[in-house]
Structure 1
Amino acid sequence: MSETAPTPRLLSPAYAAITVGMCSLIGFVAFEAMAVTTVMPTVARDLDGAELYALSFAAPLASGVIGMVAAGLWSDRRGPVAPLVWSMVLFSVGLLICGTAPTMEILVGGRLVQGLGGGALTVGLYVLVGLVFPPRLQPSIFASFAAAWVLPALFGPSLAAFVADAVGWRWVFLGAVAFVGAAALLVAPSLRGRQTDTGVEEASTVRLVWATVGAIAVLALELLGSARGVAGLGALGALVLVVLALRNLLPPGSLTGRPGLPSVIATRGLMSAGFFCAEAYIVYVLQEQWGLTPGRAGLALSVVGVTWASSSQLQARLGARVSHVRAMEVGSLLVLAGVVSLSLTVWLDGPSLLAGATYVLAGAGMGFGYPRTSVAMLDVSTDSDRGFNSAALSIADSLGAALALSISGVVFAAAERQDANPFLAVFGFAVVLGVLGVVTSRRTAQAR
């Protein structure tokens, strides 16, 4: 009588160390993300850089694309270990620059360096998931990544507000360096023996060039678009360059929503664009329109983050009972519902509590649909293209959000010049992105 092999689990002896290490790294980086979003309105006021507010969020997302492409090429050739190590170094250097920045311009520069590390980190972790975990555990590990945001979501905004009030906002950045160092110590033992030679020949640097062009064009779009006169026309040229860069960085058909993997990647990009475009302004609008303190305004991020993680756990438990396509459709619809509800609350000047509560729907949508874009991508990837596809998914994610944030900065400035509600204009733009995300999510099934 043969014994049935035990079902593998994330915390079984074969996977426990690497699971704990990867989730710890995600968790510590999450603290930084939540903290920075909470204090950035204060930073912009202190450094007299309100006009660069949107750029401070778009900068790390745009430069992250360069890190993603470099890490993807590197991972396809030698495995994910070296990209992960260098990603943590760059991320820490960026934090140090931000924490000591005397001007908003230098802080944005620090965010660019930080983004290079963050982009490489994302791809390195995704490749490591595909290399280490069997397909049946991949939805669970991505759900665990989302769960690693729970404590940062609960305590990150409040802790950031407390630190900023007690010793200054600079220590929100400087203190995060210690967290990243601690995460590096935890994940290092799990990386031993993971360095590999895949046999893939050296890849062309063309994709890296296009990643750089795309990142610069996204940032130029916000700077030129917010300018008056002839300079503003340069934003159109920057937009054309972004589109050209995306065509060369993503699988063919991603920009037109071709069925299958291209639409999976497009859905990921549009979900991130709509969600993060609105999220970047939640704390800002709660302070400006309703007069909330940074600590109280940051509670909205806490609730959304916990909802994201809970929804992600739900989709993991449902597993194959909900197809990847259905999960992405439901997720996109919930993101759209959250952004529409937030827009209506701002327009009608409803209670501040309602403004934060309505956006919970968007968090639930990201938790339910976002992890499935990763699993759907890995399902159709091989050892030779896993790095490319992981990088493409992350590029759509980051460059989509960066482009949306840059355009939102232009929209915000234009609305202010017309004496219109700039927050309502930005959230209206996020609604358009949400609608496009719903459309592409319905095309994520493989063409027959």
Structure 2
Amino acid sequence: MTSTPGPVRGAGRRRVPGLMRPDPDGPWSAERWRTTTGVVALVSLVAFEAMAVATAMPVAVRALDGLDAYAWGFTGFLVTGLFATAVTGQVCDRRGPLLPFLVGVATFSVGLVLAGLAPSMAPFVLGRLVQGLGGGAIIVSLYVLIGHSYPDRLRPRIFSYLSAAWVVPAVVGPLIAGTVAENLSWRVVFVGLLPLVVAPVLLLLPAMPRGSPPSRPGGGAPASGAAALVAASAAIAAGAALAQLGGQQLERGRLLVGLGGAALGLAVVGAAARRLLPSGTLRLRRGLPSVVALRGLQAGAFFGLEAFLPLMLVEHRGLSPTAAGAVLTGAALGWSAGSWWQGRPRLPVGRQRLATVGAVIVLVGLAITSAAVVTEVPVLVGVAGWAVTGSGMGITFSTLSVLLFRLAPTGEEGASSAALQLSDTLGCVLTVGVAGIVYAFLRDQGGVAFAVMFAAMLLVQVGSIVAATRVTPSAQLRGNGRCEQPDNIQDPAIAG
């Protein structure tokens, strides 16, 4: 008697990796899904705020009669962010990220109210200063939380999620902010964000480590050292502000005062940066110092151009605020695509070389975008160039975040995260400040001002490429002919 074979279990079903069998220890596991959701939600809120403010800024500054001080709408936020990031890193390493996270969220919310209700340009800048304090504390706290909650193998995916969190705000943020600013009030763009802060905070609070981190042998600076770091971070913020104020005096014909103030401010920034950044950062020493330097240079080139791109499109090319803000969407989508690509389980090159690839792509994108200053060049060329720029940023920034945790000394992840964010913010402060000086000085000459600003950003990005070639530590260059930790080996957890 012959038996008829029954159906084989699972026959005809194609197993999809990561879908049929979710990773029990992945970012969306029972242990981590609340943390992942909260981090992504809060970054989405930050992304929406950034896209909305960049879109509404030309309308807000014009309404407050502060076009000459346009750059302060951005540098006000960034200057205090310098102070907050440096201090928060030290606090996180000593007491954990919970307290600075809560203080940061509260301060950021107060800043939104102050900016949204400002009757003139000075109170508006004050609100942006307060926002910067909160924003710097939030970002560093999130980086420390990621380092605490996710192992190294999951961090590329987490950082790709963070870049992906910019997608929806990038698509709807400029449209919503432009429409609100044109038809209701630019003030709604600020105060309307307050209710959205609550849910991410409630999700993240249970995941925040309580108490002080475990002590390490010889670790932790003495109280006098911590006080010196606070003083140095205050000095670097004050120096950056002084440099911009001095530069603005040049536009008013006060040559000696302007040059003296700018030189003094830059000198203070340089001296304080040596205290706050890893040793060798300003010299592009191989390894972690060059990782930190690359973050600052590339952030400066990108955001220095982005701050004035909507203004150029409105004032020089005649676009509406909504249309000009929508141009920012291309970079955000490109950023997410680049970050997703670098987070794949298999990569054609190692992590360190990937930083150079991203930096070169950014340079090409910035050059294409800058061509839109020429009125004969279609605006769509600039849109395409900005999307290319964003893809390079997504590759480089996510890669640098992974390299940071690989190269940071054990127990100093908070200080290293703060250094990375500090370099980012310092680069933005200096380049946006320089661009603001150029704009105030050459504003009456139309497109010439934007051409000079954008050319300066291209030069900064050339420096980024140099730094990218030096992110490999010297010890790896000397060891066994291998210069990188490979990333082209498939992660079994990702493969499923």
Q: Shorter chain as normaliser: what TM range?
A: over 0.9
Q: Secondary structure of 1:258's match?
A: coil
Partner of 1:303: 330
- 1:322 deviates by 3.2
Partner of 2:93: 76
Partner of 2:34: 17
Question: What amino acid maps onto 1:280 in structure 2?
Answer: A
Contact 1:55 1:222 in 2 (8 A): no
Partner of 1:213: 235
| Distance in 1, Cα, partners of 2:103 & 2:415 | 19
Tell me the matched-pair count. Answer: 444
Out of 177, 181, 186, the residue aligned to residue 164 of structure 1 is 181
Q: Deviations over 1:279-338 (max 9, x none)?
A: 111111111121111111111111211111111011101555532211210111111111
Q: Deviations over 1:385-416 (max 9, x none)?
A: 11111111110001111111111111222333
Partner of 1:174: 191
Contact 1:29 1:180 in 2 (8 A): no
Partner of 2:112: 95
| Distance in 1, Cα, partners of 2:211 & 2:349 | 35
Contact 1:96 1:174 in 2 (8 A): yes
| Distance in 2, Cα, partners of 1:396 & 1:349 | 37
Partner of 1:232: 258
Gaps of 5+ in 1: none
| Distance in 2, Cα, partners of 1:308 & 1:56 | 24
Is residue 293 of structure 2 the alignment partner of residue 293 of structure 1?
no
Partner of 2:226: 204
Partner of 1:154: 171
Contact 2:52 2:173 in 1 (8 A): yes
| Distance in 1, Cα, partners of 2:68 & 2:400 | 34
Q: Deviations over 1:51-94 (max 9, x none)?
A: 11112111211211111112111110111111111110010011
Q: Secondary structure of 2:114's match?
A: helix
- In terms of mean alpha carbon deviation, does 177-186 or 363-372 score higher? 177-186
Partner of 2:370: 343
Is residue 64 of structure 2 the alignment partner of residue 47 of structure 1?
yes
Partner of 2:483: none
More helix by share: 1
| Distance in 2, Cα, partners of 1:5 & 1:150 | 24
Contact 1:25 1:187 in 2 (8 A): no
Matches within 5 A, 1:224-263: 224-227=246-249, 228-229=253-254, 230-233=256-259, 234-263=261-290
Contact 1:55 1:219 in 2 (8 A): no
- 1:169 deviates by 0.4
Question: What amino acid maps onto 1:210 in structure 2?
Answer: A
Partner of 1:355: 382
Structure with bigger gyration radius? 2
| Distance in 1, Cα, partners of 2:441 & 2:235 | 26
Question: What amino acid maps onto 2:152 in structure 1?
Answer: P
Partner of 1:284: 311
| Distance in 2, Cα, partners of 1:55 & 1:349 | 31
Partner of 2:78: 61
Out of 180, 183, 188, the residue aligned to residue 205 of structure 2 is 188
Contact 2:316 2:447 in 1 (8 A): no
Gaps of 5+ in 2: 1-20, 476-496
| Distance in 2, Cα, partners of 1:281 & 1:273 | 13
Contact 1:274 1:430 in 2 (8 A): yes
Q: Deviations over 1:260-297 (max 9, x none)?
A: 11111111111100000011111111111211111111
| Distance in 2, Cα, partners of 1:123 & 1:405 | 22
Partner of 2:398: 371
Contact 2:328 2:386 in 1 (8 A): no
Identical-residue share of aligned pairs (%): 37
| Distance in 2, Cα, partners of 1:374 & 1:70 | 20
- 1:347 deviates by 3.5
| Distance in 1, Cα, partners of 2:94 & 2:318 | 52
Normalising by structure 2, we get a TM-score of 0.86
Partner of 1:404: 431
- 1:165 deviates by 2.4
- 1:349 deviates by 3.6
Contact 1:415 1:425 in 2 (8 A): no
| Distance in 1, Cα, partners of 2:414 & 2:321 | 39
| Distance in 2, Cα, partners of 1:254 & 1:268 | 11
Measured at CA, do residues 60 and 198 of structure 1 come closer, stay the same or move farther in structure 2, by a change above 3 Å?
farther
Contact 1:21 1:190 in 2 (8 A): no
Contact 1:251 1:262 in 2 (8 A): yes
Contact 2:52 2:174 in 1 (8 A): yes
Partner of 1:386: 413
Partner of 1:108: 125
| Distance in 2, Cα, partners of 1:6 & 1:51 | 54
- 1:352 deviates by 1.4
| Distance in 1, Cα, partners of 2:295 & 2:199 | 30
Partner of 1:331: 358
Question: What amino acid maps onto 2:232 in structure 1?
Answer: W
Measured at CA, do residues 91 and 419 of structure 1 come closer, stay the same or move farther in structure 2, by a change above 3 Å?
closer
| Distance in 2, Cα, partners of 1:194 & 1:328 | 35
Q: Secondary structure of 2:388's match?
A: helix
Q: Secondary structure of 2:283's match?
A: coil
| Distance in 1, Cα, partners of 2:173 & 2:213 | 39
Contact 2:373 2:447 in 1 (8 A): no
- In terms of mean alpha carbon deviation, does 217-226 or 364-373 score higher? 217-226
Contact 1:158 1:298 in 2 (8 A): yes
Question: What amino acid maps onto 2:115 in structure 1?
Answer: C
Q: Deviations over 1:140-181 (max 9, x none)?
A: 111111111111001001111122123200010001112223
